[in-house]
Structures are given as C-alpha cells and as structure tokens.
Structure 1
C-alpha cells in the first residue's frame, strides 16, 4: 500500500485524511501466472496498481497471431483507459506473466475519490499523461531500431524483466521470431 501512496504523491499532494480515503478504496487482489486480468470484448470496470509481478498487454492480429504490445511491471497503474472511460469493450488482453499482486480501484471508488479529494483529477491526469508518454517513447524508439538494437534497448530500460518473461512473449514484443531472439542473445554474450 505504501508503494501506491508514494507513487501518487509524485504527482500531487494529499493530506493524511485523503491518503486514508485512497487506501480505503483499494482492494487487494492477486493473479496466478498465465491468468487474465482483462480480456478483449469485456468492458473494464476497475483500474489497478501492480505491486508485484509482470502483466503482458496483448492482442490478436487479423491472422490470429498473439501479439505482445508491452509489459507492465511493479509500481505502475494499469488500465485500458479508453475502454474504461468510454464504457466500451476492450480490444486488449492483460495477462499475468508471473504471479501478480495488485490493488484494484472500482469505477465507483475512483468517482468517489474524484468528488471528495480536491485535486484528485489533476493527479490522475498527470499519472495518465506519464503513462501515455512512456508508451509513446517505447513505441517510437522501437520503430527506428533493428532487432538487436530493440533487444539491447529493452535490456537497458527494463533490466529486471528479460529473465522473468518467456522468450516467445519477449520475441513477440520485439517484433521478431523466437529463433531470431535466441540468435541475438547468443551473439551479444
């Protein structure tokens, strides 16, 4: 719970009463490895803050291939924000790569925080903007790099993730085959 509060306080100030209210709206939950937190076709009803583990965000392309968009690790909010805000079905899957623990905020709980805490919407807006900027940085840097550069960039930016993610999912994220990833890993050692 403290990691959640510390994260939020990076984006704005809260007094102790407000912190206690935020804590009261968070519900502890867990996922086992390979379980889905969110599935395409379903409307997201909560926002989560991942406290332990890795979640993979993916989709299926028009050929039925499972494509990894990105990975989320500890101390990050996770939400399909477009589907959540508009109340429309998600087009993405969110799957536990490892056993995960998280704090869930229901839509009603978030609305109550918005109505009760002055400045809450500004904090959430800053958190959302940071998440979108991080996503854009990941995507734009990968588009200009070859496969080896993408892998090295991944290792630099996410040093603790490479050994926690199955090779097939990492290869999908990097946009290469698993055999290409194995070759790249062998060549850079």
Structure 2
C-alpha cells in the first residue's frame, strides 16, 4: 500500500485524512504466474496498481496467434476504460508473467475517492499523461527498426524485464520469431 501512496504523492499533495481514505478503500490482490488480471470480453470492475511483478498485455490475431502488445511492470496504474461510469469490456488479456501483487479498488470506491479528494482527478491526469508518454516512447520506434535494434532498444527501455519475461513473449512484442530473437541475442552476446 505504501508503494501506491508514494507513487501518487509524486504527482500531487495529499493530507493524512485523504491518504487514510485511499488506504481504507484499497485491497491487496495476488496473482500467480499465468493468472489473468483481466480477460477479453469480461467486464472490468476494478482499478489496479502493480506493486510487484510483471503483467503481459496480449491479444489473439485473426490466425489465432497470441500477440504481445505491452508489458506492465512495477509502479504502474492499470485503469479500465476512459471514464469511471463507462462499462469497460477489454479486447485484450492481462496475464501475470511472474507472481504479482496489486493494490486494487472497486470502481465504486475509486469514484468515491475521486468525489471526496479535491485534486484527485488532476493527480490522475498527470499519472495518465506520464504513462501514455512512456508507452508511446516504448512503442514508437518498433515500426521502423530492424530486429537487432528493436531488441537493444527493448533492453534499454525495459532493463528489469529482459531476464524476467520468457523469450517467446519478447519476440512477439518485437514482432520477430523466437528463432530470430535467439540469433539476435547470440550475435550481440
């Protein structure tokens, strides 16, 4: 819980009463490796903050192949939909690659925090803006780079993931085959 509070305080100020309210609404969730945080087609009813572990965001293409779109590591907020009132049914899966710990809030409790704490929405906007700029920076170059450059870039942008994520997922994320990734790793090793 402290990790979440520390994270939020980077984006704005909260007094002790506000922090206590947030803590009172939070619950801890543990996922085992391969557990789903959410599944395509199933309504998402909670907001999460990953305190420990790695989650993979993936979908199935029209050939039925799993495509890794993104990785979520520690200290990231996992929001659902654009607004709290919106019923969010994702088209992607979020699955634990490692054992994970999250702080979660029901949408109702999250809304109550938002309605009670003046400035909460501003804090959230700053978090979302940071998250989107990180996401864009991590994804944007993938299109124009060759496989080796993409892999080196992946190591630079996700330094803590390279030894925690199976190669098959990294290959999928980079848009290369697993055998190509093995060759790339051997050549730069």
Superposition deviation, residue 84 in structure 1: 6.3
- Matches for 1:2-151 after TM superposition, within 5 Å: 2-82=2-82, 86-151=86-151
Quote the RMSD (CA, aligned, Å): 1.3
Q: Verify the 8 A CA contact 1:28 1:103 in the aligned structure 2.
A: yes
Following the alignment from structure 2 to structure 1, what is the Cα–Cα distance between the partners of residues 177 and 39?
Answer: 25
Aligned residues: 189
DSSP 3-state at the match of 1:104: strand
What stretches of structure 2 of length at least 5 have no aligned partner?
Answer: none
Q: Verify the 8 A CA contact 1:44 1:84 in the aligned structure 2.
A: no
Name whichever of 162-171 and 83-92 sits farther off. 83-92
Following the alignment from structure 1 to structure 2, what is the Cα–Cα distance between the partners of residues 27 and 97?
Answer: 21
Counterpart position of 2:173: 173
User: Under a length normalisation based on structure 1, what TM-score does the superposition of the two structures give?
Assistant: 0.96
Superposition deviation, residue 152 in structure 1: 0.5
Following the alignment from structure 1 to structure 2, what is the Cα–Cα distance between the partners of residues 64 and 106?
Answer: 32
Q: Verify the 8 A CA contact 1:50 1:73 in the aligned structure 2.
A: yes
Instruction: Write the deviation string for residues 150-181 of structure 1: whole angstroms up to 9, x where unpaired.
Output: 11011111111111101111100111000000
Instruction: Write the deviation string for residues 109-137 of structure 1: whole angstroms up to 9, x where unpaired.
Output: 11100110000111111111211221111
User: Under a length normalisation based on structure 2, what TM-score does the superposition of the two structures give?
Assistant: 0.96
Q: Verify the 8 A CA contact 1:45 1:84 in the aligned structure 2.
A: no
Matched, 1:161 2:155: no
Matched, 1:152 2:158: no
Following the alignment from structure 2 to structure 1, what is the Cα–Cα distance between the partners of residues 85 and 4?
Answer: 21
Superposition deviation, residue 88 in structure 1: 3.4
